[in-house]
Amino acid sequence: MVQVQSKGGAEDIELVKLEFSEPTQTEDFKLKVCLPYFKDIYKDLCTRSDDKYKGINKLTLLDYFGLPGVLTERIFAVLDQDKNGYLNQKEFLTGLVCFYCSTFDEKIKFVFEIYDFDGDGFITKNDVMTLINCMPVVKTTKLVGEGKFT
């Protein structure tokens, strides 16, 4: 399990420690490259939020991710562990570490939580249909000649 421990609030971004369940060869990369990069993203998004001291609000995350609304809202809901409407440093960094640096099983668990709307431990047909129905329809184009599309 990947965990981020944080001391302080949104303004205290430098004191973060990652804990990995099993040491890996890439742990050094995670600590020296990924974590500083994720901290910079957090700082930037906090400044865009309506209250930088509370953390990142949902609208800021929606704008940053650029994903269809319901999908980003579900990601926000899963990351916002204390359910206060803001992602603090620990919540945000834990989420990004999970996206980019976790094991396959941890990523599957995260995706499961996104689909499990009511948090009952089951993904129902309605859960899947809700996400699928909220995805934008992308019109495909056909190549009709060199450099020409319909």
- Sorted by where each begins, the domain ranges of the chain are 2-149
Residue 35 to residue 94: CA distance in whole angstroms: 10
Q: Provide the strand spans (E) within 2-150.
A: 2-6, 16-20, 56-57, 86-87, 143-145, 148-149
pLDDT tens for 63-75 read: 998 887 688 999 9
pLDDT tens for 86-114 read: 999 999 999 999 988 889 999 999 999 99
Q: Is the pTM of this model over 0.75?
A: no
Residue 30 to residue 149: CA distance in whole angstroms: 43
Give the fold, CATH level 3, of 2-149: Recoverin; domain 1 (1.10.238)
Residue 59 to residue 142: CA distance in whole angstroms: 35
Q: How confident is the model at residue 48 (pLDDT cuts 50, 70, 90)?
A: very high
